[in-house]
Structure 1
Amino acid sequence: MTANEPVADFIIIGLDFGTTWDPEFNNCSDVEKAPTQLLYDGQKGTSWGYSIPAHEDALKWFKLLLLDNDDVPIIVSKSSQMRYAQKLLDKMKKDPVEVIAYYLRKIWNHAIDSIQRTVGAELLQKSPFHVVITLPTIWHHYDQQRMKQAAKASGMLDARSCGETKLRFISEPEAAALATIKDLSKRSKIKAGDAMVICDAGGGTVDLISYQIESISPFVVKECVKGDGGLCGGVFLDEQFLELIKRKLTPRSWDNVTSAEEKKFLNEWIGSSTFLIVAMSRAPVESSNGERRLNLARKLHQRQIVVLDISSSPYRSDILSAYTPIVDKIELLIRRQTQAVESKLEKSAKYIILVGGTSEVAGQEPDEMVSAGVRHNYYRLCSEHIGQVHSTIYSCSEFPPPPETSGPAVEELCKIHWTRNINLESLSTYTNPLGKVYHELNYGIEMTCEGEIVDFTVHYKDKRVGAHNVDVQFR
């Protein structure tokens, strides 16, 4: 084999080109993602991704600018982010294809450098490339053509001595399905004929696709009904929430707040049940009762305090009024897809799988939500031989749940009894303030839901306790 002779293998490079991912939302960060943003500076040149300082107003949403104006919903075209993106684009006198091509060139060069460090320069030079780029389900043929033009202009399709670089587009929910189906195939309760709906709820678009399982071994699926989608991703939730905050303040109070401070505000809000906007100092603080505070004294025109507490009325209804229109659109898309599946197969889809940034729970990655269930760790203090271990699981019909297990909304769901041959002396010890020594038993209980089926498993020392040693008694 000569130095330039191509090898039989090829390298597949996948690019999930999102609309909005932002590293400033560090409460839900992902180091494997690059921010979809550009900054044009006449003196310093152009920056992209992580190289853009947080305080700069970067160009975002440029992926959505590929759409013709007639195909952009009014709620999107009137959003501040979309109008700002178009304003920056006009100021730079560039078209969306040119901007996307520049971004793709930057991320492509970064990817090639990373691949070369992994496989070596020689193998990289000999291996043809197969490039796969994700596109929203709802995009038209002209959008795909414009994205192809951007990919070509970026240089990723340039001629190479080892062979032609092949480009393929794949729908975003199809890519999400490929990423989750492998885990789904390991579940013991799935069977041929089962149908699933994949909902990829991202920053800009929400895309859906459905599959039916043809066989388990090998695991084969086929598309069930036509995919669906809409422009109702997480950025529109952010937009509605910011509009709510602005309505709570006096007129024009928000005018001097920068986009960087808006991002910081949204980041501080994520995962908090109570939020205060306090015009006192600039640093965010934590109050003694757990409330989150955002201080914008130097930006707001006058001193004022706004309290939002989603755990009580009327603030909870305020939050719901902001989020409900967007969430209702997502719910409608899911319902429409599941109804289409049921109409074709004459039975309901067994699985609805949520992926994408908008579907994430704070602190969890998407695959944790799909395949790992919900797990909680417990401990018992023991002073003598360990026999059967008992735990009680409760359900609650309200959110957030009360701190105690009493109340009309709380009911006992089941009791879990399990046994294991445990050597008391092998456990770590705990000494109470009176000097009494106990042995500490640590274990975990995991709950998984499939359709209407709820299942519990017990884990001890990172190993699953055998089903014959676990007794779950539902009330």
Structure 2
Amino acid sequence: MRHHRTNHRSLVERKTLDDPKPPLDTAPPIIVIGIDFGTTYSGVAWTYGAKKEMIEVIMDWECHFSRNRECDKNCSAIHYEGVQKAITWGYDVPLDEDSLRWFKLLLIDEKDLSPEVRESEKIKKARDMLKKFNKTPAGAIGDYLRKMWNFSMTEITKAMGEMEVKVSRFHVVLTLPAIWPDYASRRMREAVKSAGILKSRPLAEDTIISFMPEPEAAALSSFEDMNRKATIEKEDCFVVADCGGGTVDLISYKVTSTSPTLTFEECVRGDGAMCGACFLDDNFLGLMKDKLKGNWNKLSAREKERLRVQCWEDGIKHKFDGKDSARTWPVMLNLFDMPADTSRCFKNHTVKLTNDEVASIFNPILCRVQDLIESQVRGVIAQTGKKPKYLILVGGFGRCSYLYEYLKSNLNYDVEILQPVRRAWSAICRGAVLKAIPRGINSLNEVTVQSHILRKSYGAYCRMSFVKGEHDERDKHWDETEMRYYARKQVEWIGKTDDRITANEPMVIELNSSKFDDVPGEEWISIYHSDVTPAPQTTYAPGVSHLCTIRYTPVYNLEDTKIYINPVGKVFHYVKMTIEMHYNGTSSLEFSVVVGSKRQGSHNVELDWGSH
């Protein structure tokens, strides 16, 4: 395979552009910050000096309703006011405002949403609000993250002191749904950049940003909270179901070591769907519409939102466990928000929901969650020959009492269900902090994930020596430089679906040499991806899509160059090229380029996600 040169530029100097790293004993202090931006609620955790026993959770949020101040998470809501678009965010957004909510889900293209999600009233409203405020999903998320980041920095500064924060380097870990497509992760990166999280700080090194899967973060913090659970043994498997506001995301792990470090590896490829707790809200409002019949349309938008938040979100949704079949659940209507003829229809202005009616709100969603879990359990059994030891429910929705009772009664596998309650809501942002703490700093009771399972195939555009009968004649191409036939539009796969990838180690592919007869200029490599199994050989096959283009200007050592002489005696120079792809369990990928023996610095490597 050969790179494609698009233009010539002089090579300034042939030396590495990577910045030298300071010795460990002179490294500046570090503040690790974990951010869990969620569909309905978002959280931030942090620690100073990479100490896991001192992880703090931001809680004292600004809010319109004082009852919400001491919460592990803030509401994922934002409102723009006036021509200047002054921002109100989180709990400070009053119920009577046309606020933007559930906008995290709009990072996913409409065509990639399931029909029920695409047609959800809340998704339609979020899309309408974006248009009203003239915002993109990434732009709105960037605005929200900026507010959350600035507030968190204020709180951290109160705890640590202004100068300590100014000189400390930041390592920020943002969690992502593991099921997200690649482009959604890129849009989240745009939001992080626009939020100012990566802006330079005069007295500190550049901020490090990394991403990790939400269920992995939940798993790390859950086992820390459970003190590693003494019954866990090597080869045990468990399923983590991260049940959040928008997505339910599952990953299965196998224990590879229990001492001195509790170490896991991903057991089977994870799965998930958009069937989180926010879709229960649609079912609740739909039930209320049926109960009120024609009177529903007489309620103001503010009253409907009050019913959703105060009666449902803060009441029935968290208290319902389905055990008392005779119990009724009152929904209080606001007399002053209803016409007189409507208010007289309801005794004491109350609508009573039966136990079965409330269960009907949950059951369609919980049935989908059950299907996801059972599919994951079957995968574990097929891979290991035994069922998982535990099913661990985490996330905001994972705290739901009825979810626990429903799975206990309906799950078709005898798997013990764990529902950690201690600091469960902040599990993901705390797990993000744990992920960034270097191994060895806390040598006892460490919990680490050793490897991940690749969820799709990733490869580089290449050409191969043409073999008649193996390659398509349409791809046959005569190369004037080497004076031989090649097959174009081929893919050299760096990693394929279900490959096991060691954590913190890149997947590496060595490409055929880049040849040149003068000073080399900008080079490019196209990266493709595919959900098809087995992965096709050509770039135009169904299911193969362009992902990004890596553009770089080679910097190399002269001793790495070799001589190539074609059949007519023309002399060319060439140097070997290597691509490293870093996979962390999410669709947020990192690529590195090595030319000869020289790793290319970030200053002369650019990822172009929009062309090929």
CA contact (8 A) 2:240 2:250 kept: yes
CA contact (8 A) 1:39 1:47 kept: yes
| Offset from partner CA, 1:201-244 (integer Å, 9 cap, x none) | 01111111111111111211111111111100111112112101
Aligned-pair CA distance for 1:252: 4.9
**1:178 and 2:220 matched:** yes
Partner residue in 2 for 1:187 = 229
CA contact (8 A) 1:254 1:300 kept: no
**1:32 and 2:68 matched:** no
**1:295 and 2:333 matched:** yes
Partner residue in 1 for 2:285 = 242
Partner residue in 1 for 2:374 = 335
* Distance in 1 (alpha carbons) for counterparts of 2:127 and 2:189: 21
* Distance in 2 (alpha carbons) for counterparts of 1:371 and 1:309: 27
**1:21 and 2:51 matched:** no
* Distance in 2 (alpha carbons) for counterparts of 1:158 and 1:349: 44
**2:216 corresponds to which letter in structure 1?**
E
* Distance in 2 (alpha carbons) for counterparts of 1:96 and 1:371: 32
**Greater RCO, 1 or 2 (C-alpha within 8 Å, sep 6+):** 2
- Distance verdict in 2 for CA 1:144–1:273, change over 3 Å: closer
Question: What TM-score comes out, normalization by structure 2 length?
Answer: 0.52
**1:231 and 2:274 matched:** yes
**1:95 and 2:133 matched:** no
SS in 2 for 1:192: coil
* Distance in 2 (alpha carbons) for counterparts of 1:27 and 1:339: 44
* Distance in 2 (alpha carbons) for counterparts of 1:201 and 1:27: 25
- Distance verdict in 2 for CA 1:163–1:359, change over 3 Å: same
SS in 2 for 1:329: helix
CA contact (8 A) 1:360 1:369 kept: yes
* Distance in 1 (alpha carbons) for counterparts of 2:220 and 2:182: 23
Query: After the TM superposition, which residues 278-317 of structure 1 pair with which residues of structure 2 at under 5 Å, given as runs?
Result: 292-300=330-338, 302=342, 303-305=344-346, 306-310=351-355, 316=356
Aligned-pair CA distance for 1:297: 3.3
Partner residue in 1 for 2:32 = 12
CA contact (8 A) 2:328 2:353 kept: no
Percent identity, aligned pairs only? Answer: 36
* Distance in 2 (alpha carbons) for counterparts of 1:9 and 1:273: 46
- Distance verdict in 2 for CA 1:73–1:24, change over 3 Å: farther
Aligned-pair CA distance for 1:176: 0.5
| Offset from partner CA, 1:278-330 (integer Å, 9 cap, x none) | xxxxxxxxxxx9863412334445233343221xxxxx1x3333322111111
Aligned counterpart for 2:310 among listed residues 259, 264, 273: 264
Aligned-pair CA distance for 1:251: 2.3
Aligned counterpart for 2:193 among listed residues 146, 149, 152: 152
- Distance verdict in 2 for CA 1:346–1:273, change over 3 Å: closer
SS in 1 for 2:280: helix
* Distance in 1 (alpha carbons) for counterparts of 2:334 and 2:90: 27
* Distance in 1 (alpha carbons) for counterparts of 2:320 and 2:231: 37
Partner residue in 2 for 1:459 = none
* Distance in 2 (alpha carbons) for counterparts of 1:300 and 1:268: 22
- Distance verdict in 2 for CA 1:320–1:189, change over 3 Å: same
Query: After the TM superposition, which residues 190-229 of structure 1 pair with which residues of structure 2 at under 5 Å, given as runs?
Result: 190-218=232-260, 219-229=262-272
- Distance verdict in 2 for CA 1:46–1:169, change over 3 Å: same
Provide the aligned C-alpha RMSD in A. Answer: 3.0
| Offset from partner CA, 1:153-210 (integer Å, 9 cap, x none) | 1111112342121111111101101111223453222111111111110111111111
**1:269 corresponds to which letter in structure 2?**
I
Aligned-pair CA distance for 1:273: 6.5
Aligned counterpart for 1:122 among listed residues 157, 163, 173: 163
Aligned-pair CA distance for 1:63: 0.7
**1:355 and 2:402 matched:** no
* Distance in 1 (alpha carbons) for counterparts of 2:91 and 2:305: 14
Of 202-211 and 21-30, the range deviating more from structure 2: 21-30
**1:19 corresponds to which letter in structure 2?**
T
CA contact (8 A) 1:28 1:362 kept: no
CA contact (8 A) 1:24 1:264 kept: no
Aligned-pair CA distance for 1:129: 1.1
CA contact (8 A) 2:319 2:401 kept: no
**2:263 corresponds to which letter in structure 1?**
V
Aligned counterpart for 1:74 among listed residues 110, 115, 118: 115
**2:78 corresponds to which letter in structure 1?**
L
Aligned counterpart for 1:105 among listed residues 124, 136, 146: 146
